[in-house]
Amino acid sequence: MTDQELLAAALAASELAYARYSKLRVGAAVIGASGAVYTGANVENAAYSSTLCAEAVAIGHAIASGERALETAAVISPDLTSIFPCGQCRQRMAEFDVQRVVMEGPDGEPVSHTLEELLPGSFTDWR
Ligand code: THU
């Protein structure tokens, strides 16, 4: 699957976001070690801190489907030109060995960063 296709899957997922409070719809897609793709969207809550990020939902979807390692993750919002994963989601990605994160560049083109660039020295080494 190309980066563009993965971003398109994440964008499609964002249409089902429950972004009642922020109005910021976010979609994510991850590729598991099996090659399967799992998507998620943000799920907000009146108790704001109970909100789930799109990446958390996509990663949960993958892991609860039996994946134990992930390769590439994509995150996108139809409401924001360029969205980077939050710090907690970077850590969630590190837990499952995500190598690369694809985002939408300023002109709509896929741009990717390694997770090491986004989260240098992640807290996983003690495991
Ligand atoms: N959000 C995500 O889904 N992923 C991120 O990486 C950053 C933030 C969501 C959470 C919340 O529903 C909305 O964006 C505003 O913070």
User: Does residue 85 have a pLDDT over 90?
Assistant: yes
Among 14, 20, 22, say which to mutate for ligand 1: greatest number of ligand atoms within 8 Å of CB.
22
* Residue partners of 89: CB distance under 8 A and separation at least 6: 53, 55, 56, 59, 75
User: Does residue 125 have a pLDDT over 90?
Assistant: no
Question: Ligand 1: residues whose CB is within 6 Å?
Answer: 19, 22, 24, 26, 42, 44, 51, 53-55, 75, 85-86, 89
Average pLDDT over residues 95-109: 96
| Digit-coded pLDDT (tens) for 111-120 | 999 999 999 9
In this structure, the residue with its CA closest to atom 8 of ligand 1 is 53
| Digit-coded pLDDT (tens) for 26-52 | 999 999 999 999 999 999 999 999 999
Among 20, 26, 76, 83, say which to mutate for ligand 1: greatest number of ligand atoms within 8 Å of CB.
26
User: Does residue 126 have a pLDDT over 90?
Assistant: no
Residue ranges of domains in the chain, CATH in brackets: 3-118 (3.40.140.10)
Distance of CA 111 to the CA centre of its chain: 14
* Residue partners of 15: CB distance under 8 A and separation at least 6: 25, 27, 41, 78
Q: Is the pTM of this model over 0.85?
A: yes
